[in-house]
Amino acid sequence: MSNVTNLKTAEPWKVIAFRIGAQEFCSDIMSVHEIRGWSPATPLPHSPDFVYGVINLRGVVLPIIDLSARFGFGATVPTAQHVIIVAQARKRTFGLLVDAVTDIVTVNDDLIQPTPNVTSELGHHLLRGVLVLEGRMISVVALDEIAPEDEREVA
């Protein structure tokens, strides 16, 4: 069964598109709580390489995941132009460090293609498919697979 099957709905749905380097990604907008400007994060000892650190978000300690590092593209050196997408998956809230938010798009299921078999098993695990839209190829992120499974992986 394809990862795309997990996305299939009868109705169009909205995604938020964002950029990491020159590549575009997206996720279901219903999983996004807010978009924030970059603010410095406090590193945590012995956390995975892709966990940039934590920030205080209105009294809640929020882990920040560097999506560039999570996807194997290398660690991000954040600047004031970077943004944090606050998202929720599996009843866990976390921030995604990305270069920029680029678009909000309404999508139909027929625009989503399966993730090509040329990616690693981890690549298939982290992506639900590829959105082909107006000459753009936008990878659909599996937010429920991005954050560490266990809180002990973050702290």
From the CB of residue 89, how many other CB atoms can be counted at a distance below 10 Å?
A: 17
CATH number for 128 = 2.40.50.180
Mean pLDDT of 20-44: 96
Pick from 7-21, 26-40, 61-75: least confident: 7-21
Q: What's the gap between Cα 89 and its chain centre?
A: 10
Query: Given a cut of 70, is residue 2 above it in pLDDT?
Result: no
| Residue with more model confidence, 124 or 105 | 105
Identify the pLDDT of residue 19: 98
Mean pLDDT of 18-28: 96
Task: Write phi, then psi, for 133 (nearest 5 degrees).
Answer: -145, 115
Separation between Cα atoms, residue 11 and residue 7, nearest integer Å: 11
Number of domains in the chain: 1
Identify the pLDDT of residue 45: 94
Task: Write phi, then psi, for 129 (nearest 5 degrees).
Answer: 160, -170
Query: Given a cut of 90, is residue 68 above it in pLDDT?
Result: yes
Query: Given a cut of 80, is residue 13 above it in pLDDT?
Result: yes
Q: What is the DSSP letter of 114?
A: P
Mean pLDDT of 33-58: 95
User: How many Å from the N-terminal Cα to the C-terminal Cα in the chain?
Assistant: 34
Q: How confident is the model at residue 58 (pLDDT cuts 50, 70, 90)?
A: very high
Identify the pLDDT of residue 153: 42
Question: What is the residue range of 97's domain?
Answer: 3-153
| Residue with more model confidence, 104 or 5 | 104
Query: Given a cut of 60, is residue 6 above it in pLDDT?
Result: no
Q: How confident is the model at residue 123 (pLDDT cuts 50, 70, 90)?
A: low
The percentage of the chain sitting over the pLDDT mark of 70, rounded to a whole number, equals 84
Instruction: Output the pTM of the full model.
Output: 0.86
Q: How confident is the model at residue 88 (pLDDT cuts 50, 70, 90)?
A: very high
